[in-house]
Amino acid sequence: MDSGRLFFDPSACHGGNMLFLGNADNVFRGGATMMSMDESSKRRPFFSSPDELFDEEYYDEQLPEKKRRLTPEQVHLLEKSFEAENKLEPERKTQLAKKLGLQPRQVAVWFQNRRARWKTKQLERDYDLLKSSHDSLLSSYDSLVKENEKLKSEVVSLTEKLQPKEVAGAAISAQKPDPLPGDITHVSALQLSVKAEDRLSSGSGGSAVVDEDGPQLVDSGNSYFPSDNYPGCVAPVDGVQSEEDDRSDDARSYFSDVFAAAEHQQQQEEVSLGWWVWA
DNA sequence: TTGTGTTTTATTGCCTCC
DNA sequence: GGAGGCAATAAAACACAA
């Protein structure tokens, strides 16, 4: 940027209470008026009374000046106006400028800067919101992983306990006629454990996202661990969903689904598409 | 008092819209 | 092509600690 810019035009300042800026850009893209050290020592106090601000004699004596801050009254009115509408139509700009004793250009500049400040704050708020959402999702994800590990080891130990019974049962069945097809008692413990483990370690187990490979198993509610036999042990899908329900936050719920799905289906386009659509 | 960080006011250049 | 908006930036004004 140009370091020798014009900040103040003494010859044109008497009309208002602020440094002259003109109504068009080209007005202050002209020459340069530099302020000496002596001149800067004549600086008026930051907050002057409105009477003082509009006193032409004051400016006759105090000139020339550089940049000057708006008074609290002026800022208050501008803030109120900004709250009502953060964009400035030409008519409103003129009215405000008249009311405040400012150049229309100054009002426009103030609104522009105010919009920039608002945008910055908004970005900060959005960032905080996303960060807290991310942190909470991360912690719930961690607890789900731990829960998963716990259930896996439970399955392993139960499988080990079932193995001897299976061997004995196989010896008995060898002396009996073939069972009816579909008889659940003849599903081997090994098959059960394998299925249960697949279920626990598969992505669909912890996700509400529809899994085309096994939606019937996941969403049917027919858990391999009947709640009668395992009080407190809820099917993975139900467990996840009830946890999300407690939070009653759509964004979090969505993220949980995406995280769970993404863990096991990172290659699938649907997941990433869903993510970007949301983003 | 002075150095340093933050906020406010203003400028510049580019872009979009009518 | 002019008006207005925005991002980037400069520089003054201000706050504050050492």
Which nucleotide across the nucleic acid strands is nearest to A21, CA versus C1'?
Answer: B10
Is A117 (CB) below 7 Å from strand B?
Answer: yes
pLDDT digits (tens, 9 = 90+) for A86-142: 999 999 999 999 999 999 999 999 999 999 999 999 988 898 899 899 999 999 999
Neighbours of A73 (CB within 10 A): 13
Strand C, CB < 7 A, residues 48-77 of A: 65-69
Chain C nucleotides near the protein (CB, 7 A): 3-15
Question: pLDDT tier at A72 (50, 70, 90 boundaries)?
Answer: very high
Query: Is it the case that residue A30 has pLDDT exceeding 70?
Result: no
Sign of the dihedral through C-alpha A202, A206, A207, A212: positive
- Give the per-residue pLDDT at A140: 96
Which nucleotide across the nucleic acid strands is nearest to A27, CA versus C1'?
Answer: B11
Full set of structural domains in chain A with CATH: 71-134 (1.10.10.60)
The helix/strand/coil state of A144 is: helix
Give the mean pLDDT of chain A: 56
Query: Is it the case that residue A195 has pLDDT exceeding 60?
Result: no
Average pLDDT estimate for A52-68: 46
CA distance A257 to A244: 10
Is the pTM here over 0.85, yes or no? no
The candidate with the shortest Cα–Cα distance to A243, out of A129, A131, A137, is A137
